Amino acid sequence: MKRKVQVGLIGLGTIGRGVAKLLLGRQKELSYGRGFDLQLVRIADVDITTPRGIDLPAEILTTDAYQIIDDSNISIVIELIGGIEPARTYILRALEQGKSVVTANKALLSQHGEELLQVAQRNGTYLYFEASVCAGIPIIRIIREGLVANRIQKLYGILNGTTNYILTKMAEEESSFKEALARAQQKGYAEADPTLDISGLDAAQKLSILLRVGFNVSIPVEDIFCEGIEKITSRDIE
C-alpha cells in the first residue's frame, strides 16, 4: 500500500488556483511511480466564498492558515500568498515543525532567504523555490544539482520577460514605451500596475536569489543597483 503524502496550500489567487487544479485534477499522474500518493487535503485563503472557477470540496477550505501549518498529518506546505508577512511567519513555523515548504515568493526569498534556508537545514527539512526565478526553467535545480561539481563564474540572461517584451517592441517596431507597455498589458504579460517589472525590482529580487544559489553569497536586494526602463525613449533605442 502506498504511503500518503498530504499537502496544504496557503493562497488561492491566480497561481494558487492553478496549483490546486493541478494537484486535484492530476493526482494519479503526479503520484505515479513515486511510491506515494500525493494528496491536497487543505487550502487556506482569507476569502473562501468567492467563486474561483474551480470545483473545490468545501471541507478542505479554511481561512486559518495554521490549520495547515499545525496539522501533524500534513508534511508539505505550499505558500502562494506572496509578500513578506505573514508569509515569512507561516514558512518559519512550518519549517520549525519539520515540514517541507514550497514557495514562489521572490520578494520574501530575496530578503529572508538565508534565514529560511538555515531554519530548514536546522530542522532537517527542505525549502523549495524553483518557481521564484526563470518561470518554468528549472535553473535552481540545475545549479544545485546538475552543476554542483562546477565553479560558476557568471550568470547572465533575461530576468524579466515583461521588460524584455517592451524593449523588443521598441527596438523592432519603433513603438514608444507607453505603446509597448499597453500591448504587454493587453496580452497579459504585464500587470495592471507594472511597477515591479518596469522599475527593475523584480529582476533585482531574482538576481539576489540566483547569487545565493550560484555563488553562495547573500546580497540583500536593496544593495543591488537597478534602474528601471520607464525613462527609456525611442531615441535611446536608436
Hey, which residues are catalytic here? 206
DSSP 64: -
- Cβ burial of 158 (10 Å; 0-12, 13-18, 19+) is exposed
* Degrees, nearest 5: CA angle 18-139-152: 165
Q: Residue 213 and residue 148: Cα distance in Å, rounded? A: 10
Q: Residue 44 and residue 46: Cα distance in Å, rounded? A: 7
SS3 76: strand
